[in-house]
Amino acid sequence: MKKCRFFVVFILLAFANMLCAGEGMWLPLLLKALNEEEMQSMGMKLTAEDIYSINKGSLKDAIVHFGGFCTSEIISDQGLLLTNHHCGYSAIQSHSSVENNLLKDGFWAKTNSDELANPGLFARFIDRMEDVTEKALMGVTDDLSSEERQSIIDKNLDAIKASYELSEFEDVIIRPFYHGNQYFSFVTVTYNDVRLVGTPPESIGKFGSDTDNWVWPRHTGDFALFRIYAGPNNEPANYSEANKPYNPKHSLPISLDGVEEGDFTLVFGFPGRTNQYLPSSAVEQIVETLNPAKISIRDSALKIIDGHMRADESVRIQYASKFARVANYWKKWIGESQGLVSTGAIAKKKKFEEEFLNKNADNPEIRSILPRFEKLYKANEEYAFTRDYYSEVASRNIELLSLTGIMNRLIDRYENNGRDDYNSYLQRVKGYLEGFYKNYRPEIDREVFASLAKMYVENVNPLYTPESLKVANRDMENFAKGLYSQSSFADPNKMMGILSLPPESAIEKIKTDPVFMLGTEWSNLIDAKVNAPYNRNKTQIDELQRKYMQAIIETFPKKRFYPDANSTMRISYGQVNGYQPRDGVTYMPVTYLNGVIEKYKPGDYEFDVHPKLIELSESKDFGEYADSNGDIPICFLGSNHTTGGNSGSPAIDAHGNLIGLNFDRVWEGTMSDINYDKSICRNIMVDARYVLFIVDKFAGAGHLIKEMKLVHPKAN
Ligand code: ARG
Ligand code: ASP
């Protein structure tokens, strides 16, 4: 238990040394010890207890994990939920058709009964969190192999979980922090009835689309409104018409006073994944090998899909969400690589490593961590490259091949567990396929196949290429034509027909389908020759990363270290701040409606502006939502450290009021996942007043404004 004590000491000592303001994603229950003082020195008027408390309602009770992939927040005492348009995108898309196009026209429910149900979408609260390190690491000693260590920890975690008394909609999640040096548990409460209340048209919610994505200056009204419904007694319940709007423990008041450069900002949400403590050898590999491979594959896939979307409106609706998803990280990786190079991230890491080595001059064991990393990353390079290549080509971008895995699981169910299990899984598969085919065009996918399969054959070591593909590469287009015309996977009627046969016959047909055969041959090859050695190396890398993390903390006892993001609830705080993207250029931290009009390109699918918005801008019918300059603010920048999953997070002012809605980061700073740099890492938020203006003046949904609590903190 030496380690636990060491961590307590580390936490107490920690706030002696300040990081640069803005950096870090902190745990709400450690704010008092680690951050409160600094936050208050930056202007915050709240206490740590106002933000996170298990004894009384606090800000955390208004923060909701949205579907597990985004953040959202409660903004009325009737469970009104604010999140990003891009977080609600699939839900909005699922209610859209060419005739009734919510994406294009927007949607505003007039009454509760007009609000639209979204099966599968959930809203998850954190009831409380706890440090369970001591119990999680009970019986763990330094001499254990990583497998032995993990198996003890797994047993401990099971025991900890079993010790919680949970009701039907409660759950407990335990996650490792600091790469397995600490463990925290989270008791969650999940509401499964979440309905769509309102969304602006895409020309507002996704204004600037992919061209402006990850870019400042930004003019996107990236928001949508949902509502949580509860069963009798305000308890979580599955969807039912009888459910009532949820009455929350806390809802965020909304500030009408806006922001100025230097104002305190707090972003509260569920950041997904970061890697701040990688050794330089790993970062080098990302910049030189892995990012370029992934970017080039998506380049090709996106070009093909874009061509079809521009040519046909119905394709555009079908592929809009998928396209945005693929384009999003494609663009992010490009920015990330550039930012890592332009801020000299590798050199900085190397300098840090030198200092680390110097401070451990008399500890050869610790010193050996870095050269061991280097060897392991080198040894793993070809496997990591091939894995990324395979996953981009065969599971993310060629849609038909992505069905192979699902079919294999279905067959496994039958072969291992029999008919009943097969049938129950079959229902899920059918549901999935319905959604899949609704948005699927085999002729587009076939082109993607021809292009990406060719890249694979030409760029990946032939050892990891299926024989049939090597032969096919003599004329990949022709091969793709044959494949897509022969496979039942490419035809919804044939596929559904097969799945309605008795299991034995269905399985026989699936197993002899050419797409299934190719996909299975390919994935077996990758499993045996790539994943197996990759995973062996990765286990060692992870083990080393845990030791490195521990050694870093022990080597620099006066520094504070925040744990990498892992989809748990975090706080990041900073200030409203512009930046200098390059020499001679300064970016202001706030954009305005006149900037929307500047970008306006009539008829363009990214930069068209709705006539009503033009009208409002001309008549200056801004109500109480304008800034002191008389214009409507659209977006603003902060120095908050955020990542994917933070979308939809509230931006909160010094007093605990909502001032904005986080949705993106700036291009130059997307490398903040690996190397936060305070000079250029900025998060982008929609100004809360733009949200109110659109709901009130644009949509005429004043009844929603009435639910909210609007405040003037600066006047008081
Ligand atoms: N870049 C933001 C994030 O990573 C927004 C993505 C949605 N917008 C888009 N145009 N794809 O999620
Ligand atoms: N746009 C991201 C999200 O959806 C946020 C980010 O990566 O900054 O979570």
Q: Containing H/E element for 485?
A: helix 476-486
Which ligand number lies closest to the CA of residue 71?
A: 2
Ligand 1 centroid from CA 113, angstroms: 31
Question: Does 617 score more than 70 pLDDT?
Answer: yes
HSE, CB side, 13 Å, CA atoms: give it for residue 629: 11
Which atom of ligand 2 is closest in space to residue 642's alpha carbon?
Answer: 8
Q: Other CB atoms closer than 10 Å to residue 232's CB: what's the count?
A: 10
CB 214 less than 6 A from any atom of ligand 1: yes
CB 86 less than 6 A from any atom of ligand 1: yes
Catalytic, 222? Answer yes
Catalytic, 86? Answer yes
pLDDT in tens, 555-566: 999 999 999 999
Q: Other CB atoms closer than 10 Å to residue 396's CB: what's the count?
A: 20
pLDDT bucket at 320, cuts 50 / 70 / 90 = confident
pLDDT bucket at 716, cuts 50 / 70 / 90 = low
Nearest Cα residue to atom 7 of ligand 2: 644
Ligand 2 centroid from CA 213, angstroms: 10
pTM of the model: 0.92
Q: Other CB atoms closer than 10 Å to residue 452's CB: what's the count?
A: 24
Mean per-residue pLDDT, 568-594: 97
The pLDDT value given to residue 389: 98
Residues of the chain with pLDDT > 70: what percent? Answer: 97
Question: Does 11 score more than 70 pLDDT?
Answer: no
Mean per-residue pLDDT, 356-382: 98
CB 687 less than 6 A from any atom of ligand 1: no
Q: Other CB atoms closer than 10 Å to residue 487's CB: what's the count?
A: 21
Ligand 2 centroid from CA 93, angstroms: 19
The pLDDT value given to residue 386: 98
Which atom of ligand 2 is closest in space to residue 328's alpha carbon?
Answer: 1
Q: Is 632 left (phi over 0), alpha (psi -120 to 50) or beta?
A: beta
Ligand 1 centroid from CA 328, angstroms: 5
Nearest Cα residue to atom 5 of ligand 2: 644
Which atom of ligand 1 is closest in space to residue 329's alpha carbon?
Answer: 4
- State the angle between helix axes of 345-359 and 313-342 in degrees (0 to 180), rounded to the nearest 10: 50
Q: How far is the C-alpha of 546 from the C-alpha of 281, rounded, in Å?
A: 16
Q: Other CB atoms closer than 10 Å to residue 113's CB: what's the count?
A: 7
| Cβ neighbours for 493, distance < 8 A, ≥ 6 positions apart | none
| Cβ neighbours for 162, distance < 8 A, ≥ 6 positions apart | none
Q: How far is the C-alpha of 322 from the C-alpha of 190, rounded, in Å?
A: 27
Which residue's entry shows tokens 């930012």? 339
245 three-class SS: strand
pLDDT bucket at 22, cuts 50 / 70 / 90 = confident
Mean per-residue pLDDT, 684-695: 98
384 three-class SS: helix
Which ligand number lies closest to the CA of residue 644?
A: 2
Which atom of ligand 2 is closest in space to residue 663's alpha carbon?
Answer: 1
pLDDT bucket at 439, cuts 50 / 70 / 90 = very high
Of how many residues is the chain composed? 716
Q: Spell out the SS3 assignment of 570-582.
A: EEEEEEECCEEEE
pLDDT in tens, 63-76: 999 999 999 999 99
Question: In this structure, what token pair is assigned to residue 368?
Answer: 């050996």
Mean per-residue pLDDT, 646-672: 97
Please give the radius of gyration of the chain, using alpha carbons only, rounded to the nearest integer.
26
Domain edges within the chain: 280-553
Mean per-residue pLDDT, 307-333: 93
| DSSP string for residues in 589-600 | SEEEHHHHHHH-
Nearest to 407 by CA among 324, 518, 290: 518
List residues near ligand 2 (CB under 6 A): 70, 642-647, 663-665
Q: How far is the C-alpha of 705 from the C-alpha of 54, rounded, in Å?
A: 30
The pLDDT value given to residue 19: 52
Which ligand number lies closest to the CA of residue 662?
A: 2
- State the angle between helix axes of 402-412 and 419-438 in degrees (0 to 180), rounded to the nearest 10: 160
Q: How far is the C-alpha of 136 from the C-alpha of 400, rounded, in Å?
A: 42
pLDDT in tens, 167-215: 999 999 999 999 999 999 999 999 999 999 999 999 999 999 999 999 9
pLDDT in tens, 210-261: 999 999 999 999 999 999 999 999 999 999 999 999 999 999 999 999 999 9
Q: Which of 647, 649, 653, 672 is catalytic?
A: 647
CB 209 less than 6 A from any atom of ligand 1: yes
CA 254 from centre of chain: 25
pLDDT mean across residues, the chain: 95
Residue 638, exposed/middle/buried by CB under 10 A (0-12, 13-18, 19+)?
A: buried
Mean per-residue pLDDT, 555-578: 97
The pLDDT value given to residue 71: 98
pLDDT in tens, 531-540: 999 999 999 9
CB 216 less than 6 A from any atom of ligand 1: no
pLDDT in tens, 259-292: 999 999 999 999 999 999 999 999 999 999 999 9
483 three-class SS: helix
The pLDDT value given to residue 4: 40
Q: Which of 131, 193, 222, 677 is catalytic?
A: 222
The pLDDT value given to residue 476: 98
605 three-class SS: coil
Which of 214, 664, 674, 684 to probe ligand 2 with, by most ligand atoms within 8 A of CB? 664
C-beta separation of 297 from 455 below 8 A? yes
Angle among Cα 560, 562, 563 to the nearest 5 degrees reads 145
Beta-bridge partners for 177 = 182
Q: How far is the C-alpha of 621 from the C-alpha of 623, rounded, in Å?
A: 6
Catalytic, 402? Answer no
Give whole-number Cα distances, 363 to 101, 469, 541, in Å: 65, 51, 20
Ligand 1 centroid from CA 450, angstroms: 28
CB 213 less than 6 A from any atom of ligand 1: yes
